[in-house]
Copies of this chain bind each other. A is one copy, B any other.
Amino acid sequence: MTKQKGNLIVISGASGVGKSTVIAELLKKRNNICFSVSWTTRKPRDGEIHGINYFFASRNEFEHMIAEGEFLEHAEYVGNYYGTSKSQVMKRLEEGYDVLLDIEVEGAKQIRTNWNKAVFMFVIAPSFAELENRLRARQTDDDEKIKKRLARAKEEYKEIPAYDYIIVNDTVENAVKEIEAVLTAERCRKKERLHLMKEV
């Protein structure tokens, strides 16, 4: 069987929904997937390694890469750039890996414009009440901040119609199972496998 190219997988979800835990479990379980390491102009923190946590670049270098169209998506937060390298993603896809991007709804919009065949998933909590419970359980935010996060989540939820799949994170195990099913199913899509029909 000819080697099958991977798919670009975009996962978004509200803060507090447990997306990072789900993604960590997914990467442990599945070996034909890799996580896309972002580029940033932020300074490395203690213990952060170039190529593992981020690819670190100067502002000049980053802006040069933007000008060259090197990014599938990029954004500026609190004075620092963050972006996803198109050539790195393409290399991995060619090697047969699914490439996973954990990005917000704005980044996902850029991917929709710059890339024509990504799979878009949005991770939700079973309910908004449950999302609030999870944010409170983290004990990292005060009431004010939790309200802001919930308000932002409601805004982000409005973008869901642009996504292909909704993953319900009721338990990590179930959410991982759903994402794995989507990854496998997307590789069974007719257009991904028509090369198998060449002999006919």
CB-CB under 8 A from A184, the residues of chain B are 177-178, 181-182, 185
* Known pairs A184-B181, A185-B185, A190-B163; A200 contacts B1 (CB<8 A): no
The size of the chain A interface, using a CB distance under 8 A, is 37
Are A166's CB and B190's CB within 8 A?
A: yes
Closest B residue by C-beta to A193: B166
CB-CB under 8 A from A177, the residues of chain B are 184
Interface centre among A1, A184, A192 (most CB of B within 10 A): A184
CB-CB under 8 A from A115, the residues of chain B are none
Interface centre among A154, A181, A192, A193 (most CB of B within 10 A): A181
Contact of A197 among B1, B121, B160 (CB under 8 A): B160
A157–B193 CA distance with the chains assembled, in angstroms: 13
Are B1's CB and A154's CB within 8 A?
A: no
- The reply on A158 being an interface residue by CB < 8 A is yes
- The reply on A67 being an interface residue by CB < 8 A is no
Closest B residue by C-beta to A180: B181
Which residues of A from 75 to 129 have beta carbons under 8 Å from B?
121-122, 124, 126-128
- The reply on A168 being an interface residue by CB < 8 A is yes
- The reply on A35 being an interface residue by CB < 8 A is no
Top 6 A-B pairs, shortest CB-CB distance: A181-B184, A185-B185, A166-B193, A181-B181, A182-B185, A165-B188
Question: A residues touching B (Cβ–Cβ < 8 Å)?
Answer: 1, 121-122, 124, 126-128, 154, 157-158, 160-161, 163-168, 177-178, 180-186, 188-190, 192-194, 196-197, 199-200
